[in-house]
């Protein structure tokens, strides 16, 4: 990921320094348990704990020779340990360290994303309550439908991101896995008690059955959840982009005093933050298919997944962290225009009330088909000739057989469309 989108905490997780630090702690814990059960001398475990350290630059140089990152790491750490280094990395295979370490990095990532999601939920709920009764037109197919409130629209996003948080928490649990089972996962060269010890120390769970590597269905699930979160982010971003259009201007991203919208046109105030999120969401979702393809490896393992994960995991994690931070910025600073919402609500002269007339006619004894035909005829007249809906309805003699002008007026004037808003907020937006 380019530096433009890096935030320090998430970026640090994916540094070589952090990766080797995690590896070293895993190796130390393995040595501790091996000494505890009498496989290696206790002095060896103590010396490994005391002297194990690494140098990233030295490891990189060694890898040029070994063509194997873990062997380069082992050689480098062994140099610092000294004579007891023969007990370092005892009875285990590279995947034990790589995969357990990778689990920790993904867990660390998930925790940061989870925190950002919780902040987003707090912000969405606050804004949803603030605009609970701010009426606006609801749209289906982009066309005026019936009134809603802006608070209800935000409440929909609030509940969607609540589900995303639950998914992420489950995905973190699924990926918080320790696998230290040796070559081809048989524990033939490493006592299972070692895995249990390391898992407990690192707050992980032991893999049920390892094929030498942690099965990649876990990772596929994790990145799929990030893909779903990205889609939710994009849905919000696209909503803002639509509502900020000049002819609507119901909601607008914050425009800073010194901000410039266009290099050519000084008047422009573009929804650039939301557009940026739309693009980043596409990128995050691009990880879903490769992560699923990584599930399919040869026999007990190959490394076809490795290159994918080295690129994908840091970049997608960083993009997700940045996206949620930016979305929080949009939610907390966006400008809402209730007057424009009111203006757009009345743009069609009351046509959004057509269903209320339809339902009233059915209560008067008409079939639904008959009622629909009558209302649609009048609605099209109002639409085609840009007339007020009530003015058209009150001249329809067929309709007036069932509803008086006074009844029509009362139906159209009494706003019952949003009568259940309080109930929705009380029961569904918690």
* Strand 135-140 versus strand 143-149 pairing type: antiparallel
Mean pLDDT for the chain overall: 96
Question: What fold does the segment set 349-428 form as a domain?
Answer: Ribonucleotide Reductase Protein R1; domain 1 (1.10.40)
Q: Does the fold of domain 349-428 match that of domain 1-90? A: no
pLDDT for the residue 418: 64
pLDDT for the residue 262: 85
C-alpha dihedral (71, 76, 80, 86), degrees to nearest 10: 20
The span from the CA of 360 to the CA of 370, in Å, is 12
Predicted model pTM: 0.94
| 3-class secondary structure per residue, 219-276 | HHHHHHHHHHHHHHHHHHHHHHHHHCCCCCCCEECCCCCCCCCCCCCCCCCCCHHHHH
Chain segment 156-192, per-residue pLDDT in tens: 999 999 999 999 999 999 999 999 999 999 999 999 9
Q: Is there a contact between 358 and 375 (Cβ–Cβ < 8 Å)?
A: yes
DSSP per residue over 399-415, as a string?
A: HHTTS-HHHHHHHHHS-
Question: What fold does the segment set 93-342 form as a domain?
Answer: Fumarase C; Chain A, domain 2 (1.20.200)
List the catalytic residues: 141, 262
The span from the CA of 400 to the CA of 363, in Å, is 14
Chain segment 359-404, per-residue pLDDT in tens: 999 999 999 999 999 999 999 999 999 999 999 999 999 999 999 9
Chain segment 238-274, per-residue pLDDT in tens: 999 999 999 999 999 999 888 898 889 999 999 999 9
The architecture of the domain spanning 1-90 is Orthogonal Bundle (1.10)
Tell me the domain boundaries of the chain: 1-90, 93-342, 349-428
pLDDT for the residue 259: 87
Q: Which whole number is the average pLDDT over 183-204?
A: 97
Those residues with Cβ within 8 angstroms of residue 168's Cβ, 6 or more apart along the chain or in another chain: 110, 113, 114, 117, 225, 226, 229
Q: Is there a contact between 360 and 404 (Cβ–Cβ < 8 Å)?
A: no
């Amino acid at each position: 990921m380019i530096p433009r989108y890096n935030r320090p905490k998430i970026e640090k997780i994916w540094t070589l320094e952090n990766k080797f630090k995690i590896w070293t702690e895993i190796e130390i814990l393995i040595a501790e348990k091996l000494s505890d059960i009498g496989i290696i001398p206790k002095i060896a475990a103590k010396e490994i704990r005391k002297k194990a350290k690494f140098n990233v630059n030295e490891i990189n140089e060694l890898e040029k020779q070994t063509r194997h990152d873990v062997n380069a790491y082992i050689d480098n750490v062994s140099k610092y340990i000294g004579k007891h280094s023969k007990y370092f990395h005892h009875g285990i295979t590279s995947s034990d360290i790589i995969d357990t370490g990778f689990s920790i990095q993904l867990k660390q990532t998930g925790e940061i994303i989870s925190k950002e999601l919780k902040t987003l939920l707090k912000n969405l709920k606050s804004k949803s309550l603030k605009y609970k009764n701010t009426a606006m037109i609801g749209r289906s197919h982009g066309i005026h439908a019936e009134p809603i409130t802006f608070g209800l629209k935000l409440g929909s996003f609030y509940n969607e991101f609540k589900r995303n948080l639950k998914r992420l928490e489950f995905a973190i649990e699924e990926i918080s896995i320790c696998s230290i089972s040796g070559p081809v996962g048989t524990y033939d060269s490493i006592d299972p008690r070692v895995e249990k010890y390391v898992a407990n120390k690192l707050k992980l769970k032991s893999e049920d059955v390892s094929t030498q590597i942690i099965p990649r269905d876990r990772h596929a699930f994790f990145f799929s959840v990030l893909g779903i979160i990205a889609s939710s982010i994009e849905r919000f971003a696209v909503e803002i982009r639509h509502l900020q259009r000049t002819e609507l201007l119901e909601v607008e991203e914050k425009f800073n005093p010194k901000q410039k919208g266009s290099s050519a046109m000084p008047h422009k105030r573009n929804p650039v933050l939301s557009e940026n999120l739309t693009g980043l969401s596409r990128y995050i979702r691009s990880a879903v298919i490769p992560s699923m393809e990584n599930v399919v490896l040869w026999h007990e393992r190959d490394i076809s997944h490795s290159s994918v994960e080295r690129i994908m995991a840091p970049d997608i994690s960083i993009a997700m962290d940045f996206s949620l931070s930016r979305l929080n910025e949009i939610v907390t600073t966006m400008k809402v225009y209730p007057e424009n919402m009111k203006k757009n609500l009345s743009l069609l002269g009351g046509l959004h009330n057509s269903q209320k007339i339809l339902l009233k006619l059915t209560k008067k004894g008409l079939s639904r088909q008959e009622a629909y035909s009558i209302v649609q005829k009048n609605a099209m007249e109002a639409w085609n000739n840009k007339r007020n809906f009530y003015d058209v309805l009150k001249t329809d003699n067929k309709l007036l057989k069932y509803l008086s002008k006074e009844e029509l007026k009362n139906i159209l004037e009494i706003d019952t469309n949003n009568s259940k808003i309080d109930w929705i907020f009380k029961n569904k937006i918690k």
